A and B are shown apart, each in its own frame.
Chain A
Amino acid sequence: MTVETIADASAAAPELRGVHTLSMAKAINAGLREAMRNDPKVLLMGEDIGPLGGVFRVTEGLVAEFGERRVLDSPLAESGIVGTAIGMAMRGYRPVLEIQFDGFIFPAFDQITTQLARMNLRHDGGMPMPVVIRVPYGGHIGSIEHHQESPEAYFAHTPGLRVVSPSSPHDAYWMIQEAIASNDPVLFFEPKSRYWPKGPVDHDHAGLPLHASRVVRRGDDVTVVGHGAMIATLLQAADIAAEEGRSLEVVDLRSISPIDFGPIVDSVQRTGRLIVAQEAYGFVSVGSEIAATVAERAFYSLEAPVLRVSSFDTPFPPAALETEYLPSADRVLEAVDRSLSY
């Protein structure tokens, strides 16, 4: 069956209004569809994103609605995907790229860091690069090597890039559209362990701008900060802590570059204690940056040292060991105990 006949056979999905319960994978799919309907310059490119809909089915049905010209199954070459997208962006397109798995982004590292991130600067502002790179990332899915990594800090360390990661279907739906609308390149890290749990998506009200962090649970004793899949773990830790009479305030970063420090510093000024949790390695990490900045901005509010809860500074282990490797609610609570002991 040709793509044309698939398109003929599939009635376009109705416009989404109101509040629906969706998985994050479906929410991103809906966000991509919305962006493609609103702007003919938006196109998708990646490996297996056409008839298959991507290995996580995030682009399912999009080639049927928009055709092969706007949903490109690319050759199997990540540098090629990013490098050609730069050329398309020069031509006025807004490419949204899918890197199949976190651990496979590195062949494109050069194009992302030395070309994509600097193109507008090199052109004195005359060559914006509205390119979104979607990256399913993180552990908890029991997969093989290179399929469970958290490489976001490499990109947050690169000037010229924006780096975001939603933690809920609602944010995913809106943030993917805001990332596509941005005139800067955006690394869009999708926490793949959160692709399937469902949550409410309000299709009429976005809420916060792309780079705003958000307090997702109010608390008084300790501030805990994270992003992506870590938010589910932090909320779980907050539930357990509450049973023990301790109140955790949970802040969802949402954006890793730039980081919206306002809500974090405000929270620390009330609680006096901060724990930063992340699936990534702790050494030279997003958590390190937050610890340093909070020390600079809220030194006199701190009752205890800022603590980090991270994966270990070792490659992601065989999946049979991942529950011991990844930060859990218990590991977060162990840090809470340490923080409160000061």
Chain B
Amino acid sequence: MAAPSRDFTAPTVQLLTPEGDLRPTPEAEEYLPLVEALPDAALEQFYRDMVISRRVDVTGANLQRQGQLALWVPSHGQEAAQVGSARAARPQDHIFPSYREHIVGMIRGLDPVAILKLFRGATLGGWTPEENGNFHLYTLVLASQTLHATGYAMGLQFDGATATGDPEADAAVLVYYGDGSTSQGDANEALVFASSYNTPQVFFVQNNQWAISVPVSRQSRSPLSLRGGGFGMPGIRVDGNDVLASYAVTRRALEEARAGEGPSFIEAVTYRMGAHTTADDPTKYRTDDEVAYWTARDPIVRFRTWLEGRGASAEYFDRVDEEAADVAAGVRTRALDVTAPPRSDIFAHVYAESHPLVEAQAAWLEEYENSFEGDQA
């Protein structure tokens, strides 16, 4: 039986049209001053971030095809949502990613080789959050990190590290997940806890239209942004292929969070141009027309068109391309140098304190492996 026809809509915050014109939608008007206050250097940084993101992403995908990575999670198409939101965060903020936010980590100071190390099977983690701009580890069990983020935000409140009125010190938490993850219980429990404890937190959902092969319509009959209101917080729908709009709505929501006004829910509407992972084949479930529609909405082309209209030089764009190529080449070289960790890593840190079973097994494996020494000689 066909479901009854019901009309759910939500307005979308968009500043740049797909053609690259600065023409805010009515919902976006209030954000215009935030964007107009951005210096040219910040705008150029957005562009540079997006171009580097795409080049590093291609590098990751190629390394996987060449058998150098077990898996790669492409971010192609989602650059504006990721760069805009990440650039809206302050250094003291904490970021809890899903597993696709490579450029967000890089913006926070993470060497992307750390991410490739994870996908190369050399680590279960890869980096230290406090040494990498408070960019926490990737989480592979969908939406688990939404609760960690909420608990962390509660801890900020307990510590008085937020809502003091000092914008240089007050911290907030920004958590990333996707349209598929919104169906998980944890994602919903996190919204309940965040709302209940009024946490300094922004939920940033990249709705890239597909959870592997399942369309977002299977996750939600209505725009995801409407979920915010149901949990007692603002729900904002933004054009996630518009870096200016993504920046502006995240910046506003983070400022409110740091000021003690509570959490927000942002749905960034974007598109996963590539496969879910390199193990996926999107030609089996989506049409060429759909891909063409989103290609015409490419976040980098749109922003470049606008920058060109503002007078950015061809030389600037060439320079960025060159820099991105250099970054990607360096990542590739260093990723190939990542080797297997020592076998003691199997046992180290399973427990923080002494554990007789694990210690006995570590000693046994060492003795066992050493017993073969000389056999191959």
Contact = CB atoms under 8 A, between A and B. Distances in A.
A121 B151 contact: no
A158 to B, nearest CB: 11
Contacts of A79: 147, 185-186, 189
Given A122-B125, A258-B356, A83 B144 contact: yes
A184 interface: yes
Nearest to B140: A114
Interface centre among A75, A77, A83 (most CB of B within 10 A): A83
26 contacts: A75-B193, A77-B189, A77-B192, A80-B192, A82-B147, A86-B148, A87-B155, A88-B154, A88-B158, A90-B151, A91-B152, A93-B155, A114-B141, A118-B124, A120-B351, A120-B352, A122-B125, A123-B137, A123-B349, A125-B349, A125-B352, A160-B351, A162-B355, A182-B353, A184-B352, A258-B357
Interface in B138-159: 139, 141, 144, 146-156, 158-159
Contacts of A121: 124-125, 349-350
Contact of A115 (B141, B154, B357): B141
A145 interface: no
B295 interface: no
Given A83-B190, A90-B152, A110 B125 contact: no
Interface of A: 43, 69, 74-75, 77, 79-80, 82-93, 107, 110-111, 114-115, 118, 120-126, 128-129, 159-160, 162, 182-184, 258, 260
Contacts of B190: 80, 83-84
Name, among B128, B139, B189, the residue most crowded by chain A CB atoms within 10 Å (CB to CB).
B189
B358 interface: yes
B45 interface: no
Interface of B: 123-125, 128-129, 136-137, 139, 141, 144, 146-156, 158-159, 185-186, 189-190, 192-193, 196, 348-353, 355-358
A86 B147 contact: yes
A80 B147 contact: yes
A159 B350 contact: yes
Contacts of B146: 83
Nearest to B131: A126
A37 B207 CA distance: 46
Contact of A91 (B125, B155, B348): B155
A111 B193 contact: no
B137 A122 contact: yes
Given A75-B193, A77-B192, A184-B352, 5 more contacts: A80-B147, A83-B150, A120-B350, A159-B350, A159-B358
